[in-house]
Amino acid sequence: MASSPAKAGAHQNFYADYVIQFSYAGADPLGSSDELELLLRKLWEIGLQAEVRPGEDSNLLVFVRASRKRSLKRAVYQSRIRDWLHGVRSSEPEDESSAEPQTESERLRIINDMITLPHDVGGAGITPKHGQWKNVVAVFPLHDEVKNKEYLADWSKKTFLSEEDLDQIRDKFGESVGFYFAFLQSYFRFLLFPAAFGFSCWLLFGSFSTIYAVVNCLWGVIFIEYWKRQEEDLSCRWQTKGVSAVRHKRREFKPEREVQDQITGETRGVFPATTRLQRQLLQVPFALFSAVALGAIIATCFAIEIFISEIYTGPLKTYLVFIPTILLSALIPTMSGVLVSVATRLNDYENYETQTAYDAALTQKIFVINFITSYLPIFLTAFVYIPFASLIVPYLDVFHLTVRPFVSKEDATTIPTFTINPDRLRKQVIYFTVTAQAVGFAMETIVPFLKQRFAREYKEYKKKQTGRTNTGLEGETHDVPKNSYEDHEDEKQFLARVRKEADRDEYNVTDDLREMCIQFGYLALFSPVWPLVPVSFLINNWVELRSDFFKIVVDCKRPSPIRADTIGPWLDTLGFLSWVGSITSAALVYMFNTSADGPSGEPSAIKGWALLLTIFFAEHLYLIVRYVVQAAMAKFEPHSVRHEKTERYMIRKRYLESTLGARSSDDEEEVTPKDESIELSDITRKTLEEDARDWSRHGTNPEERFWMRQKGWRESAKVGSSIIKSQAAGTETKKQQ
């Protein structure tokens, strides 16, 4: 069963471009049949060939193939024209007859457009899980298993992915996934420096070294600016620059009213920006509520933990210590889940017109939740617990659990001398940057893999049982299938694989990007606490890059290619984190660099004005440096950008030359006879007088006469030089006098 690998190339997928998963579970058979018929007709109308095969669990698999060359070519051509009109392409596309998809991702993207776009822009209008297509569960391309295995094997041997590797990812999975891997690769490459530097600092200066903090901030600025340029470079290389301008309306968009456009004459749905702004104001209470809800959980668990681990001396301490951890792991995901669903609802309510705008707004909201859950615990330790512990901690014993009931009188005197645990901060940072990363990796890659495998084995086991009863009932004519919905012998293996793929989750690149941004945040915000943070991340990200690819290939459906020219709102997030990092780094270094073991823990030892002055200078220095780095980086054009500019320049030049060429030829024809033939006789008073008489006879007005005094440029030159000469003569006479 496992042997006999599929043939190379597209053949292993039986030329199938897309698979549409159609579910008929729960629905009445008649309605489902009608919907299926409509689906197939729509596909046929748009020029796609379809084959229906049974799937698993009340699913049908509709295999789609762009077999009609002309329809595909037309779709490609249309997409390119659209790109060209939006300025994504610099050159007008060639003729329709020669329009061929250049990459696999372009082919898949265009077929996906053919399937999903509304009819008026040239698609079949099939919208999975939406509107009349509620039974269409998914539309997905099939994995190219041979290539995938090749890449995985190749990458596990090398440190850096080459540009060609990134191009291949992009060719297989589209630009948005390509950008994620390119980002991960750039980030990984850039981490080498802080990892080496951090390690040296850790050896030489230990934690909280000023120089490490400064270099780390600077590195962050340079990395972000570098990535911006890299993004631009890639978007030129992948020809997706400005692709966000080609936007399709969100299907869920609900216009408030229909307005007839005065210019285009179309009626279009309008949702006033003011109404949206009012709805967006709900974000403020939402952010506050999130902060309070999550903050309260975190702060409470934190307080309980400190109380139990450092004050409490009663019975069961060994077990009670785990209470806050259990509480945290139970409450935070629950609360986050609730908040994310609230955020999604809010976002739906804000009713964005385009998917890009919707995603950006949702990203922003989710980032608020992530920011709190990820960084608040460390913030609490660094800026509340350590400086103010001796003030706050005595109040933690609100239930008076500590002293009275359990402790004998002679011990009572020792309780109040509470000392803070200066190692706590470092331990926490190490937890978040090493342990949590490893746990995250397991949860994200290994767990789904195992889960899937078990689910599949369970299914197979169940099927076998049902199958056995079936085989008992019917015959065994296996060479010719007994009816249209049993697998043919030569398709069996293929269909089994497709059914497996149909069963997988959909890949979401945003989650992976978010993970990386949150990771960058730890580096920017807290790495001075423990300079080995970048070393840990370096190792983690080497694995991450491969495991994320593994995840796409093994755990997920193949994603439909989506074009992108940026990693989107996450770029702003990185900039924001780096900025906040300049503040926290300065504060951490100021507060903890005083002695070898950290500050005494007394709030009086930290001078408020000095701390604030440090922050003030650090932040503004950061902003100035960022400005300078931005200005300097702007001077260097990435290779592809220059290339693209030159191309645009060439188009312009050709166009202009064609108009200029026409010009010089007919210019001569027009002017030459008139001007060259002028008699350049001497301009005497006589000729001038003649002119004057001439004009008065013709009755021209002075304005016209003004332009008639000198005939042609030669006469003007003559007049001019005579003025010059006479003036020169005049000055000479004067001089002589």
Site for a copy of itself in 678-707 (CB under 8 A): 683, 685, 688-689, 692, 701-707
In the complex with a copy of itself, the residue whose CB is nearer, 438 or 662, is 662
Can you tell me the distance from the alpha carbon of 397 to that of 393, in angstroms, rounded to the nearest whole number?
A: 8
Pick out residues in 604-633 that bind a copy of itself (CB under 8 A).
607-609, 611-613, 615-616, 632
Q: 488-491: list long-range contacts, CB under 8 Å, 24+ apart.
A: 491/14, 491/53
Neighbours of 47 (CB within 10 A): 18
Can you tell me the distance from the alpha carbon of 473 to that of 3, in angstroms, rounded to the nearest whole number?
A: 31
252, 597, 602, 667: which one binds a copy of itself (CB under 8 A): 667
In the complex with a copy of itself, the residue whose CB is nearer, 283 or 445, is 283
In the complex with a copy of itself, the residue whose CB is nearer, 231 or 350, is 350
The helix/strand/coil state of 100 is coil
In the complex with a copy of itself, the residue whose CB is nearer, 442 or 729, is 729
Backbone angles phi, psi at 301, to 5 degrees: -60, -40
* Nearest C-alpha neighbor of 64 from the set 139, 172, 147: 139
Shortest Å distance, C-beta 43 to a copy of itself: 7
Can you tell me the distance from the alpha carbon of 620 to that of 611, in angstroms, rounded to the nearest whole number?
A: 14
Pick out residues in 262-281 that bind a copy of itself (CB under 8 A).
263-264, 273, 276-277
Neighbours of 101 (CB within 10 A): 18
Pick out residues in 83-122 that bind a copy of itself (CB under 8 A).
85-87, 96, 121-122
Site for a copy of itself contains 643 (CB under 8 A)? yes
Site for a copy of itself contains 673 (CB under 8 A)? no
Shortest Å distance, C-beta 666 to a copy of itself: 8
In the complex with a copy of itself, the residue whose CB is nearer, 2 or 30, is 30
In the complex with a copy of itself, the residue whose CB is nearer, 295 or 712, is 712
Site for a copy of itself contains 670 (CB under 8 A)? yes
Can you tell me the distance from the alpha carbon of 329 to that of 323, in angstroms, rounded to the nearest whole number?
A: 10
Pick out residues in 331-370 that bind a copy of itself (CB under 8 A).
none
17, 72, 76, 78: which one binds a copy of itself (CB under 8 A): 78
Q: Which stretch binds a copy of itself (CB under 8 A): 401-409, 487-495, 504-512, 547-555?
A: 487-495
Q: Which stretch binds a copy of itself (CB under 8 A): 21-29, 210-218, 414-422, 451-459?
A: 21-29
Pick out residues in 383-442 that bind a copy of itself (CB under 8 A).
none
The helix/strand/coil state of 611 is helix
Cβ neighbours of residue 385 under 8 Å, at least 6 residues apart?
Answer: 302, 306, 392, 420, 424
Pick out residues in 33-72 that bind a copy of itself (CB under 8 A).
33, 36-37, 40-41, 43-44, 47, 49-52, 54, 58, 60, 62-63, 65, 67-68, 70-71
Q: Which helix (H) or strand (E) element contains residue 215?
A: helix 210-237
Neighbours of 688 (CB within 10 A): 11
Shortest Å distance, C-beta 283 to a copy of itself: 10
Alpha helices in 307-432 (DSSP H): 317-320, 322-350, 355-380, 386-396, 409-412, 424-430
Q: Which stretch binds a copy of itself (CB under 8 A): 150-158, 365-373, 595-603, 721-729?
A: 721-729
Residue type, 640: S
Site for a copy of itself contains 463 (CB under 8 A)? no
660, 680, 694, 698: which one binds a copy of itself (CB under 8 A): 660
Q: Secondary structure of 498-533 in the HEC alphabet?
A: HHHHHCCECCCHHHHHHHHHHHHHHHHHHHHHCCCH
In the complex with a copy of itself, the residue whose CB is nearer, 43 or 545, is 43
Can you tell me the distance from the alpha carbon of 555 to that of 537, in angstroms, rounded to the nearest whole number?
A: 24
Number of residues that bind a copy of itself (CB under 8 A): 114
Shortest Å distance, C-beta 446 to a copy of itself: 34
Bridge partners of 258, per DSSP, are 269
